[in-house]
Structure 1
Amino acid sequence: MAICIPPLDASTESSAERKLHEALRSGLSDDFLVLHSVKWIAKPRGAGPRDGEVDFLICHPKHGLLVVEVKGGGVILDYAMRRFASIDRHGDEHEITNPFEQAMRGKFAILEKLKESPFWQKLGLGRIPLGHAAFFPDVDGVGGLVGPDAPLDIIGGRQDIALISQWVDRAFTYWAGPGGQGALSELGAGGVATVQRILARVSTTRPLVSARLVQEEQTRIELTERQAAILDLLSRQRRVMVAGGAGTGKTLIAREKAARAAEEGLKTLLVCYNRGLADHLREQCEGIEGLDVATFHQLCKRWIDKAKSELGRDLMAEARRDYPGGTEFDHHQPIALAFAIDAFGPNYDAIIVDEAQDFGDEFWLPIEMMLSDHADGLLYVFLDENQNIYGRSAAIPIKGEPMLLDKNCRNTTTIHAAAYRYYRGVRIEAPEITGTKIELLTAPDIDRQARAISALVTRLVAVEGVAPHDIGVLLCDGRARSSFERALAAMTIPKSSRWGHLEGYGQGSITVDSVAKFKGLERAIIILWGLDASDPVVDRETLYVGMSRAKSMLYLCGTVAACGRVLDAGVA
């Protein structure tokens, strides 16, 4: 029985494709791989991105690859008039593309797609057996369909359904030629596996844990069906906006999409707003050729410095002169970046933007300018409007409503319930892990609150065996950070631990930083502090982001009144 991807289901609308799918599955041996409804975007050398699609791709270690186009109902193939049509059960005719020409184009397009992949290149294969055919499951006596580009050996009909193995062998043999494969290279088991990896990849992805925590994190989250569908859809779209609440996997998908684009030979940029998130993504993407990872402002600095070094131009001075009323980060740096791109030219085939809700209006012009092909370049934007704690109003250059991720796969049910009291938007499905209840660390002032936090950290590290780097202390009131840090510094914690900032994160470091700087990251345990001055309405987004950073355990630290206010008075 052949390996068929995907398995046949009710979503396959074509009855002709269902008939052939079942025949191939049951009639071929298990060394055959059959891919159904294969879609891709390829970028041949010197050309822009091209879409491709075939009905079936049959793969075999020895026989090679066979592309099969399927047409249901009756068919008219008029080679004299170049007219091709299908006939439905009512006798109505419908114009179609020549199925043999369609299969031939698909065959060469798939070869282009394979050749641009580094995984295929590493196989070192020469010419492989590669053919195409057309199948008409509702037609008897297909000899009448023979034409100048349609020899009988590559035409299948109703009578071949029951003898599908013989028909597949006949089609492969036709393309191998009378002398067999000759100088052709066998695909081999590794080649078949590589075809599957390139055209029918199955993805799993690990949770985003924090900068420099990837190697210690052993648990991996399998993409939900919805997330997998989003990734599949992104393979066929040029500009897409994806929205979802905290923990729905936006950053995981953004990173995976960036990696895939780079592996497919596209020069790719993965850009976000927060430095901590960029550092983490850069480490996760290390070694992927053709993929750049940066914050937007790191990108600005890189191009501005290049203009100064290579052109002798001070683009920041030019931006300040031309736009005297702007600010450096929101206006002058984006404008200077646009000047630099105008001078050097675009640089990327694909751009993936995470944390897009934090990008200001002036950020989007240079983002678009960096695309090498403005019309066909790939732009994917991921956002959560509930995390707009920087107060941006971004004019994202993508029309239409965003695609939605609607399942939380980060938090426990209890943390989800607490954080999502502060969420506004479509319903997000809660995770399946119940988890422990949210605990309160209550004390009347900062010093005694710091003592409660140090006692908790000591118990977690020394008694419960929790790694210090799995703990984060997030401050809702970033303006008073120095006061909180001084209070913690006066407390004793285990020698294996130390208080640290996000930028200096490492083994044994307990992150103490603001909620705003921690966006996009997560820890197994979060202690949310600085609640005494928090207002559930005014600080809705900060509370939402802060609580949703916790994967397994969440502690609220403040006065009894403040903790109760935050926990019980969420905004609907």
Structure 2
Amino acid sequence: MAVMYPTPLPNYVLADPLRSTEVRVHRLLEAQLPDEWHVFYSRPWLGLHPDGGEVEGEADFVAVHPKTGMLVLEVKGGVVSRNGTTGEWTSRDRHGIVHSIKDPVRQAGRSRHRLLEKIRESRLWDQGFLNARHGVVLPDSGRPEHDLGPDMPLRIFAFMDDCKELGKWVEGRLAADPDPRATPPGPRGVEAIRRLLAADFELTPTLRSAYEIAERRIDRLTAEQFQLLEQLACNPRMIIRGGAGTGKTMLAVEKAMRLAAAGQRTLLTCYNQPLGHHLQRLCSGVANLTARSFHQLCRQCAAQAETLPAGSGEGRDYFEQTLPQALLDAVETNRSLRFDAIVADEGQDFPGSWWAVLELCLTDAENDPFYIFLDDNQRVHFRQSDAPAYPAFLLTQNLRNAREIFTAAAPLYSGGVWLGSGPTGGSVSFIEAETAGTATARLRQWIGRMTNRERLAPRDLAILSPDAAMAGMLRNAGVTGGIPSCAAHEARDNAIVIDSVRRFKGLERAAVAVCCVDQLVSSTELMYVALTRAHLGLTLIGPAAVLGELKRTIATGSGSANCCGTGNEHNHQGQDALELP
């Protein structure tokens, strides 16, 4: 006997005379199909028109087999007819009453198409091309002598006589002339479809409510983090390593504030300009504490000491060599620019030569406190960024990302222990978009869903792309509709951030949409950063081929990506890998 969903049929279905034919077909399928078959009754779906409008429908039955694929069936009782002139379909019941009905062939075909879209979008589906067919069951209608039309060959219909052995008809409909591109779904594929069509679920709060609860939880220090702060108090120099979401930035800010409160003139620095602005906002008004990105610090000190060379300053050499040298010259020229303690966040972004520069920014370069927080998996800017040989502490608990997001990112991590301790639930969604226009439409729909149904504010959302040029195009394209958008360093409460993955590194939002193109899947590090920016809702939008590669990498921790980036990754970063003036 086939495995049926739902089982048993609800009483309201059994008692409904308008469903009597469907109940009869349900019993035939259950009795006549072997155990390997899974049959889903009355499966609704919601799709989209090309213009973005919604369209809904329902498949009467969806039958799935691990070897042959999926068959979508539409059932019509009574004696069915169609008027060739008007195209109207009707059904005459046993009392002789004629009812107008929808075109069952079109219904079945459309349901098959929409369900295939949903299956391909599901992150659970990684089985390749699915052999899918549609059919129409007419248990009260006799078989005609010829096809009913070019799109209605007799083979897609099960008539009155066919229903005596409906199970064999279903098996034959799928087995005959299978699509040569198809691969058997297997038990894993059947389970993916089951979870799509008959998933267990628990109604949870909106993302807004869940985000507020998660933020309160994250703000409480864990025992591991308390232990770290105690060790930092006893050790003037340390390296703190940890995966994404382990609280590195929060602890860096906390340590910097404690040093400043103790009367030490403290620098809190990082590489990324947007993260630097974020740290400035967090530390605004705190006495003895300067929060700047590294290049902001270089410019500020060089301007005060008048050590900055003439010229506007452009290109990689300017940022990697000229500005650091100007900072070094400034603190040697004016010792009052030096600090009593330094805390560096996202330390993996710093090339090794900068650590010596920062040490010389201390009053006592050999002994003053210096703490570096880093994640070796996020080296998306420089290949050589070896930190000083300070004592190390490992943070292991990811508190930021919801469990489903953490599970997706975990295969990309290679830095030792990294445990998912974030909020339960969350979501990872894959949405296909083969063209830029389709991607824009999908992003608009995502924004509408997040701001309306999930009650999130613009400040809770981010749209990320692999590079700054694409992010700029998205901002100019007006994908946010009437809601303002901005780059990450310009973040404000009424705007949605649209920026590159690299520039958003170190930052986070309740929900994040990532535009997936080949450049993203070419680097494990870039994927890892992109997937870990969201607290609760992660949406990945892109062409089917790219999403497929991303799913394979997530599932296996391998793919076209590699842990050190591609051989030319440093070149294709362009100016996005630099912080421009």
Instruction: Using the TM superposition, give the Cα deviation of residue 278 of structure 1 relative to its aligned residue in structure 2, in angstroms.
Output: 1.5
Question: Hey, what does 1:377 align to over in structure 2?
Answer: 368
Distance in 2, matches of 1:522 and 1:398, equals 29
Q: 2:381 aligns with which of 371, 381, 390?
A: 390
8 Å CA contact retained: 1:474, 1:528: yes
> 1:560 maps to which residue?
544
Deviation at 1:466, TM superposition (A): 1.6
SS of residue matched to 1:459: helix
> What are the Cα deviations for residues 436-470 of structure 1, in whole angstroms up to 9, with x where unaligned?
33111212111101101101211221333221111
1:316 matched to 2:309? The reply is yes
Secondary structure of the corresponding residue to residue 569 of structure 1: helix
Asked if 2 retains the 8 angstrom alpha-carbon contact of 1:446 and 1:484, the reply is no
> 1:365 and 2:356 equivalent?
yes
Q: Secondary structure at the match of 1:561?
A: helix
Deviation of 1:395 after TM superposition, in Å, equals: 3.8
Deviation at 1:317, TM superposition (A): 5.7
Q: Distance in 2 between matches of 1:535 and 1:472?
A: 17
8 Å Cα contact 1:239-1:398 kept in structure 2: no
Q: TM-score, normalised by structure 2?
A: 0.56
- Length-normalised TM-score, structure 1: 0.57
Q: Which residue of 2 aligns with 1:546?
A: 530
Contact 1:330-1:362 at 8 Å conserved across structures: no
SS of the equivalent of 1:568 reads: helix
Alpha carbons of structure 1 residues 442 and 336: separation in structure 2 relative to 1, 3 Å: same
Counterpart contact for 2:427–2:536, Cα < 8 Å: no
**Greater Rg over alpha carbons, structure:** 2
Please give the residue correspondences for 1:421-440 in structure 2 after superposition, counting only pairs within 5 Å: 421-440=411-430
- Report the Cα offset of residue 350 of structure 1: 0.8
> SS of 2:512's equivalent?
strand
Matches within 5 A, 1:145-544: 220-308=218-306, 314-316=307-309, 327-345=317-335, 347-400=338-391, 402-487=392-477, 489=478, 491=479, 493=481, 495=482, 497-529=483-515, 531-534=516-519, 536=521, 538-544=522-528
**What is aligned with 2:178?**
none
What amino acid does structure 2 have at the position aligned with 1:258? A
Number of paired residues? 344
Partner of 2:398, secondary structure, is coil
The equivalent of 2:81 in structure 1 is none
Please give the per-residue CA displacement for 1:64-115, whole angstroms capped at 9, x wherever unaligned: xxxxxxxxxxxxxxxxxxxxxxxxxxxxxxxxxxxxxxxxxxxxxxxxxxxx
Tell me if the contact between 1:356 and 1:383 (Cα under 8 Å) persists in the aligned partners: yes
SS at match of 1:534: helix
**1:326 CA displacement:** 8.0
Structure-to-structure mapping, 1:113-128, within 5 angstroms = none
Q: How does 1:46-125 map to 2 (within 5 A)?
A: none
CA distance in 2, matches of 1:441, 1:381: 38
Give structure 2 stretches of 5+ with no counterpart.
1-210, 559-581
Taking structure 1 as reference, are residues 239 and 460 closer, same or farther at Cα in structure 2, changes over 3 Å only?
same
**Does structure 2 conserve the Cα–Cα contact (< 8 Å) formed by 1:245 and 1:405?**
yes
Cα distance per residue 1:404-424 (max 9 Å; x no partner)? 001101001111111222111
Distance of aligned partners of 1:424 and 1:479 in 2 relative to their CA distance in 1, 3 Å threshold: farther
* Aligned position for 1:155: none
2:173 aligns to what? none
1:353 offset after TM fit, Å? 0.7
Distance 1:257-1:502 versus aligned 2 partners, 3 A rule: same
Provide, for residues 37-63 of structure 1, a one-character-per-residue CA deviation record: whole Å limited to 9, x for no partner: xxxxxxxxxxxxxxxxxxxxxxxxxxx
Return closer, same or farther for 1:492/1:430 CA change in 2, 3 Å cut-off: closer
> 2:438 is paired with a residue of what secondary structure?
helix
Aligned equivalents of 2:480 and 2:349: distance in 1? 37
- 2:271 maps to a residue whose letter is Y
Letter in 2 for 1:499: S
Correspondence list, 1:1-12, <5 A: none
Quick check: 1:500–1:510 contact (8 Å CA) kept in 2? yes
* Helix, strand or coil at the partner of 1:303: helix
- Provide the C-alpha distance between the structure 2 equivalents of 1:299 and 1:499, rounded to a whole number of angstroms: 27
The gaps in structure 1 that reach 5 residues or longer are 1-212, 309-313
Deviation at 1:392, TM superposition (A): 3.9
Letter of the 1:566 counterpart: L
Q: Structure 1: how far apart are the matches of 2:541 and 2:427?
A: 15
Letter in 2 for 1:428: W
Distance 1:298 1:432, change over 3 A: closer
Letter in 2 for 1:254: A
Closer, same or farther in 2 for the Cα pair 1:245/1:459, shift >3 Å?
Answer: same
Change (3 A) 1:486 1:430: same
Q: Matched residues in 2 for 1:457 and 1:471: separation?
A: 8
Alpha-carbon contact 1:267-1:290 (below 8 Å) kept: yes
Residue 532 (structure 1) shift: 2.5
